[in-house]
């Protein structure tokens, strides 16, 4: 009977009851119910594989539930495709953005729905005016005539939101919208969300970042292993209680840090520079040290790591390992000298998704498992199995395609690949982006253990708690240059933000 | 409970069938043809099919390497012709201005010619980053032009008898071209599945950027697959020359279509990273068997082309269905 009330409540935009979904014998959703109210942010929390994405895909018509009912403003609905959901006012801001880079902002927003002259020719004046209106509505100052390829990731996201709004959507689904954003851009996004709430939009919000959830969520629904656990007002939960509901086992503090930095330099960089990417940068990474690099998105951190690893050729400067100058002209040289690089973009530059766990894991260390002219398949398999065991990668077999793994397990495959090259210097760019709490913790534990053995890690991250929780020293990048350094004990969120902006 | 185990067993059965779909398709075609024509199953006809497919087979092996990296080689037919006439010129009594060499030496020169053309493809694609489609489309025209220039547009005839053996001879009961094709297939298998080069080919096609960051020399891998293609094309051209007793400058026109078709029917993805050499072999055989079967049934070659086209599109559509149900 509660259902009846919810259904008829005008404040309820959408309600889903007892949704069930099976995939190839996997029970992905077990009787999940959720209600979205007008002008609220409803966070959906759970580890990877808890069923968040499946639930969202049902809401937006990508999948159809095997059982259960969905009501949109009291009317029963059943979406057969995302197009239908969109027409009914449900839009999603995807985790992976898919802009058409050579088109303008306005063209992207109204792709396929351009205002026309005489039903044939695009009315660009009208197009830009309408796009400008929507951007103004969310208080974003971008010229609708700018090309998408000139935008930062944060700006792309804003365009994506504008696009969703252009469909007059009252329900927005945001899947990890801040995963590519720095603190400052996140603030802007949250400003937009607040504005949308004021206008009566309901938002489903998925994120692994606890702090954010508590900043913006009104209600929180928790899923675990496809099961509905509970829905509570955000004010009744705190970070610890939320995490314990999500993972059912209590975590004793998220960060694991048991390393002790020494003063022996391991990797030294001297005046390394690359035109238009980053200014001359010098730093020392010591044995046993975790060196954090903080900065806003676009501050040149990733570009700097690419120069160090030889992905892109720097214009000048020196790189030394153990006080020996190296010639690094390609990633191959970097790997030969004991470096490893976990890139920012797992799917774009980390993994080949259509290849197996084995093929991805053994890729960088292939030359080590050789017998004469042929690959020693037995040794290769043993090595891969070692990586799978070491990181407890959840995969039915080494032959499973990487694209079928969860984000956390995919990231572990990347780590496993580098583990097999036995590196001493590990460069990590946003290593925990978009992965669940449990896997995050395992990665922190690995970083800690790895440096305890006298190795060094450079950790680039946009998450302040992560940077502060893991680093021994923190370097801050700003406008493609090093803007300062701060010791672990002196760091605070305020100071770091100040140095970065 | 019982039903759920049954359905699990059934789905396992169907996924097994799916894995073997190309082999099953080949068998079904063979069974139909053996009922439709009394000649199809006899040994001499089957060997004839093998002989007919051996040249497309060689091109398709090279094409598999290229397509696995996400590329394409449209110039195979022209490279085949060039390798063929160059070799022919060195074993021809009619070509007074080129020395008459030992057949093996002539073959070596012809193969080098193919490698050289493939290397040009590979260099421009991997270093200058011209897209494979455009570069090899250019080479299709360039190599064909060179072939006509070299021969003045005339067939190279009056070839050394010893040379003709590799096109017309037999080893035990198998035609020499078939033996050479099988040997090339086995060698390619070893390279693709036994050596790191093969893994790197898949890695480059799967995600070139990830491969590069893992320390793989992506340019070199891309360069090499075009060299391999050039080599196999020249080898195919030499076999064709020996079989027809003449180096024909117009040989191999439109051969790229059958080679690409075989690779695609074999389940290799045009975007790279996914596919298998065994599939290509099945693709080559399916095309060969259908050509042969329709010939035996005296179906007009016009219809044969339609049938072949339908099979190509059908094979790719099947793959899309699977990709869909994979999600």
DSSP for B226-266, written as a single string: HHHHHHHHHHHHHHHHHHHTSB-TTTTTTHHHHHHHHHHHT
Q: B211 CB near a chain A CB, below 8 Å?
A: yes
Helix (H) or strand (E) holding B273: none
Q: What is the largest CA-CA distance in chain B?
A: 82
C-beta separation of A162 from A134 below 8 A: yes
Closest chain A C-alpha to B322 CA, distance in angstroms: 14
More confident position, A1 or B157: B157
What residues of B are in contact with residue A334 (Cβ under 8 Å)? 215
- Report the DSSP beta bridge partners of residue A93: A174
- Has residue B9 got a pLDDT over 70? no
Provide the ipTM.
0.86
- pLDDT per position as a tens digit, B274-310: 999 999 999 999 999 998 998 899 988 888 889 888 9
Task: State how far residue A370 is from chain B, nearest Cα, in angstroms.
Answer: 9
Cα dihedral B36, B37, B43, B44 in deg (nearest 10): -140
Interchain pair A352, B195: CB under 8 A = no
Nearest to B206 among A24, A336, A355 (CB): A355
Percent of all residues in chain A with a pLDDT value above 90, rounded to a whole number: 48
pLDDT confidence band for A7 (50 / 70 / 90): low
Q: Does B161 touch chain A (CB under 8 A)?
A: no
Structure tokens of A338?
């004991």
Contact A349 B209 (CB under 8 A): yes
Q: Distance between CA atoms of A213 and A41, rounded to whole angstroms? A: 9
> Tens digits of per-residue pLDDT, B209-241?
999 999 999 999 999 999 999 999 999 999 999
Q: Can you give the pLDDT at residue B2?
A: 40
Interchain contact, B213 vs A374, CB within 8 Å? no
Taking a contact as any Cβ pair under 8 Å apart, which residues of chain B between 175 and 194 contact chain A?
Answer: 190, 194
Mutate to test the interface with A, among B14, B210, B325 (most CBs of A within 10 A): B210
CA distances from A159 to A123, A139, A155, A163, A164 (A): 20, 12, 6, 6, 9
How many C-beta atoms surround the C-beta of residue B118 within 10 A?
32
The reported pLDDT for the residue numbered A253 is 61
Q: Which residues of A touch B215 (CB under 8 A)?
A: 330-332, 334-336, 364
Instruction: Please tell me which residue of chain A has the smallest CA distance to B8.
Output: A25
Count of Cβ atoms closer than 10 Å to residue A118 Cβ: 6
- The answer, yes or no, to whether residue A333 has pLDDT greater than 80, is yes
Residue range B232-253: average pLDDT? 97
Q: In this structure, what are the phi and psi dihedrals at residue B19, rounded to the nearest 5 degrees? A: -55, -40
Domain ranges of chain B: 40-326
CA distances from B99 to B91, B152, B243 (A): 8, 18, 22
Percent of chain A at pLDDT above 70? 95
pLDDT of residue A2: 46
Taking only the tens place, the pLDDT of each residue in A400-455 is 999 988 888 999 999 999 999 999 999 999 999 878 888 888 999 999 999 999 99
Contact A343 B213 (CB under 8 A): yes
**In the prediction, which pLDDT does A251 show?**
44
B319 close contact with A: CB closer than 8 A: no
Q: What is the pLDDT of residues B178-196, one digit of tens each?
A: 999 999 999 999 999 999 9
Q: For A348, how many CA atoms within 13 A lie in the half-sphere containing its CB?
A: 6
Note whether B199 contacts A366, CB cutoff 8 Å. Answer: yes
Dist CA A415 CA A442 (whole Å): 11
What pLDDT, in 10s, does the model give residues A131-184? 999 888 887 788 999 998 888 777 888 888 888 888 888 999 998 888 777 777
Greater confidence (A255 vs A476) lies with A476
pLDDT at B176: 96
For chain A, the average pLDDT equals 88
State the average pLDDT over residues A479-490: 92
B217 at interface of A, judged by CB pairs closer than 8 A: yes
pLDDT-derived band at A220 (thresholds 50, 70, 90) equals very high
A366 Cβ under 8 Å from any chain B Cβ: yes
Q: Which residues of B touch A350 (CB under 8 A)?
A: 210, 213
Residue numbers in B near A309 (CB within 8 A): 213
Q: Is B14's pLDDT higher than 80?
A: no
pLDDT of residue B3: 41
Q: Taking residues A13-37, what's their average pLDDT?
A: 85
Q: B206, A353: Cβ pair inside 8 Å? A: yes
Kindly report which listed range (A253-257, A317-321, B62-66) carries the lowest average pLDDT score: A253-257
Output the pLDDT for position A475: 96
Write out pLDDT tens, residues B37-68: 888 989 899 999 999 999 999 999 999 999 99
User: Would an 8 Å CB–CB cutoff place B218 in contact with chain A?
Assistant: no
pLDDT at B13: 76
Q: Which pLDDT belongs to residue B152? A: 94
Q: Which residues does chain A have within 8 Å of residue B211's beta carbon, measured at their own beta carbons? A: 352, 363
Q: Do B215 and A364 touch (CB under 8 A)?
A: yes
C-alpha–C-alpha distance, residues B74 and B59, integer Å: 11
Interface membership of A207 toward B (CB under 8 Å): no
In this prediction, residue A119 carries a pLDDT of: 78
Are β-strands A278-286 and A219-224 bridged in parallel, bridged antiparallel, or unpaired? Answer: unpaired
pLDDT of residue A24: 63
Residues of chain B positioned with their CB less than 8 A from the CB of A354: 206, 269, 273-274
The shortest C-alpha distance from B176 to chain A (Å) reads: 28
Measure the CA–CA gap between B265 and B261, rounded to whole angstroms: 6
Is the CB of A335 inside 8 Å of chain B's CB atoms?
Answer: yes
Q: Residue A20 and residue A501: Cα distance in Å, rounded?
A: 47
Q: Residue A331 is nearest to which of B203, B215, B269, comparing CB atoms?
A: B215
Is B196 touching A (CB cutoff 8 A)?
Answer: yes
Residue B323 confidence (pLDDT) above 60 = no
* pTM for this prediction: 0.78
pLDDT of residue A462: 83
Instruction: Compute the count of residue pairs across chains A and B with CB atoms less than 8 Å apart.
Output: 76
**Per-residue confidence (pLDDT) for residue A116, from 0 to 100:** 85
d(Cα B211, Cα A360) in Å, to the nearest integer? 9
CA pair distance B228, B143, nearest whole angstrom: 16
**Residue whose C-alpha is closest to residue A319's, from A416, A479, A427, A450:** A427
Q: What domains can you pick out in chain A, each with its CATH number?
A: 2-99+151-247 (3.40.50.300), 257-338+423-501 (3.40.50.300)
Q: Looking at residue A132, what is its pLDDT? A: 92
CB-count exposure of residue A122 (10 Å: 0-12, 13-18, 19+): middle
Report d(CA A232, CA A240) in Å as an integer.
14
Residue of A nearest to B203 (CA): A352
Average pLDDT of the segment spanning B133-151:
97
Cβ within 8 Å, pair A363-B214: yes
Q: How far is B120 from chain A (nearest CA, A)?
A: 24
Cβ within 8 Å of A, B 243-282: 269, 273-274
* Mean predicted confidence (pLDDT) in A245-255: 64
Q: Residue B7: its pLDDT value, please?
A: 55
pLDDT exceeds 70 at position A494: yes
Query: Does B252 have pLDDT greater than 50?
Result: yes
Instruction: Output the pLDDT for position B327.
Output: 40
In this complex, is the C-beta atom of A117 within 8 Å of any C-beta atom belonging to chain B? Answer: no
pLDDT in tens, A368-410: 888 778 999 999 999 999 999 999 998 889 999 999 888 889 9
Percent of chain B with pLDDT over 70: 94
Question: A447: distance to nearest CA of chain B, Å?
Answer: 20
CA atoms within 13 A on the CB side of A107: 13
| Contact check, Cβ <8 Å, B213/A359 | no
Q: What local confidence, expressed as pLDDT, does residue A1 receive?
A: 38
SS (H, E, C) A169-227: CCEEEEECCCCCCCHHHHHHHHHHHHHHHHCCCEEEEECCCHHHHHHHCCEEEEEECCE
Task: Tell whether A63 lies on the interface with B, counting CB pairs under 8 A.
Answer: no
Please report residues of B whose CB lies closer than 8 A to that of A351: 207, 210
Task: Encode pLDDT of A67-111 as tens digits.
Answer: 889 999 889 998 998 888 988 989 888 766 677 888 899 998 888
CATH architecture assigned to B40-326: Orthogonal Bundle (1.10)
* pLDDT score recorded for residue B307: 86
Q: With b meaning 16 or more CB within 10 Å and e meaning fewer, what string describes B145-182?
A: ebbeebbeeebbeebbeebbebbbeeeeebbbbbbbbe
Instruction: Name A429's bridge partners.
Output: A460
Q: Does B207 touch chain A (CB under 8 A)?
A: yes
Is A363 within 8 Å of chain B by CB? yes
- Give which of A363, A374, A378 to mutate to test B binding, by max B Cβ within 10 Å: A363
């Amino acid at each position: 009977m509660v259902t009846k009330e919810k259904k008829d409540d005008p404040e309820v935009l959408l309600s889903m009851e007892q949704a069930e979904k099976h995939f190839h014998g996997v029970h992905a959703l077990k009787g999940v119910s959720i209600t979205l109210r007008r002008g609220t942010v409803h966070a959906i929390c759970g580890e990877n594989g808890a069923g968040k994405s499946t639930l969202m895909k049902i809401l937006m018509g990508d999948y159809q539930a095997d059982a259960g009912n969905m009501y949109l403003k009291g009317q029963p609905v059943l979406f057969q495709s995302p197009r239908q959901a969109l027409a009914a006012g449900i839009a999603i801001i995807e985790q992976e953005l898919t802009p058409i880079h050579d088109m303008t902002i306005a063209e992207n927003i109204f792709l396929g729905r351009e205002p026309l002259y005489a039903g044939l020719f695009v009315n660009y004046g009208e197009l830009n005016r309408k796009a400008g209106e929507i951007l103004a509505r969310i208080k974003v100052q971008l010229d609708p005539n700018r090309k998408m390829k000139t935008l930062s990731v944060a700006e792309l996201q804003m365009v994506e939101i504008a696009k969703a709004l252009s469909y007059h959507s009252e329900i927005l689904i945001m899947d990890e919208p801040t995963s590519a954003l720095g603190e400052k851009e996140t603030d802007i996004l949250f400003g937009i969300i607040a504005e949308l709430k004021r206008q009566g939009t309901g938002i489903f919000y998925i994120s692994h970042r606890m702090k954010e959830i508590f900043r913006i969520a009104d209600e929180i629904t928790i899923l675990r292993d496809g099961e509905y656990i509970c829905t509570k007002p955000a004010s009744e939960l705190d970070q610890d209680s939320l995490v314990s509901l999500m993972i059912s086992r209590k975590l004793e503090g998220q960060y694991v840090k048991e390393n002790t930095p020494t003063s022996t330099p391991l990797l030294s960089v001297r005046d390394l520079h690359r035109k238009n990417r980053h200014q001359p940068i010098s730093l020392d990474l010591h044995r046993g040290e975790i060196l954090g690099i903080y900065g806003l998105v676009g501050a040149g951190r990733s570009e700097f790591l690419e120069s160090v690893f030889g992905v892109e050729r720097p214009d000048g400067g020196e790189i030394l390992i153990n006080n020996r100058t190296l010639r690094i002209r390609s990633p191959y040289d970097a790997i030969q000298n004991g470096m490893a690089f976990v890139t920012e973009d797992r799917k774009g530059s980390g993994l080949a998704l259509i290849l197996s766990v084995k093929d991805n894991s053994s890729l960088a260390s292939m030359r080590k498992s050789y017998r004469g002219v042929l690959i020693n398949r037995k040794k290769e398999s043993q090595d891969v199995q070692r990586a799978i065991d070491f990181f407890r990668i959840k995969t039915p077999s080494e032959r499973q395609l990487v694209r079928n793994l969860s984000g956390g397990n995919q990231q572990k495959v990347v780590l496993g690949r580098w583990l097999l090259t036995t590196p001493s210097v590990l460069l990590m760019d946003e290593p925990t982006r978009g992965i669940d709490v449990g896997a995050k913790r395992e990665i922190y534990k690995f970083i800690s253990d790895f440096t305890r053995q006298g190795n060094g890690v450079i950790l680039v991250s946009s998450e302040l708690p992560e940077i502060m929780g893991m680093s021994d020293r923190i370097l801050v990048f700003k406008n493609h240059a090093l803007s300062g350094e701060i010791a672990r004990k002196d760091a605070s969120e305020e100071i770091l933000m100040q140095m970065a902006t | 409970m019982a039903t759920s185990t049954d359905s699990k067993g059934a789905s396992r059965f169907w996924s097994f069938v799916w894995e073997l779909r190309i082999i099953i398709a080949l068998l079904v075609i063979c069974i139909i043809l053996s009922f439709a024509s009394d000649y199809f199953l006899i040994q001499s006809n089957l060997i004839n099919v093998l002989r007919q497919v051996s040249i497309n087979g060689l091109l398709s092996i090279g094409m598999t390497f290229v397509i696995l990296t996400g590329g394409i080689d449209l110039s195979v037919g022209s490279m085949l012709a060039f390798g063929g006439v160059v070799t022919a010129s060195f074993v021809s009594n009619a070509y007074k201005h080129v020395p008459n060499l030992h057949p093996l030496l002539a073959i070596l020169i012809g193969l080098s010619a193919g490698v050289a053309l493939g290397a040009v493809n590979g260099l421009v694609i991997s270093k200058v980053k011209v897209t494979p489609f455009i570069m090899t489309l250019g080479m299709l025209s360039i190599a064909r032009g060179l072939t006509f220039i070299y021969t003045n547009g005339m067939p190279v005839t009056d070839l050394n008898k010893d040379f003709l053996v590799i096109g017309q001879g037999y080893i035990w009961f198998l035609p020499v071209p078939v033996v050479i094709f099988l040997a090339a297939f086995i060698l390619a298998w070893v390279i693709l599945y036994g050596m790191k080069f093969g893994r790197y080919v898949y890695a480059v096609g799967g995600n070139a950027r990830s491969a590069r960051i893992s320390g793989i020399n992506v340019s070199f891998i891309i360069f090499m697959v075009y060299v391999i293609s050039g080599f196999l094309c020249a080898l195919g051209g030499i076999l064709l020359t020996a079989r027809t007793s003449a180096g024909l400058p117009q040989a191999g026109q439109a051969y790229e279509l059958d080679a690409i078709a075989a690779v695609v029917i074999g389940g290799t993805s045009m975007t790279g990273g996914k596919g298998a050499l065994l599939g290509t072999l099945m693709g080559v055989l399916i095309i060969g068997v259908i050509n042969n079967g329709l010939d035996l049934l005296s179906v007009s070659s016009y219809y044969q082309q339609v049938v072949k086209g339908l099979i190509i599109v059908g094979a790719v559509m099947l793959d899309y269905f699977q990709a869909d149900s994979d999600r």
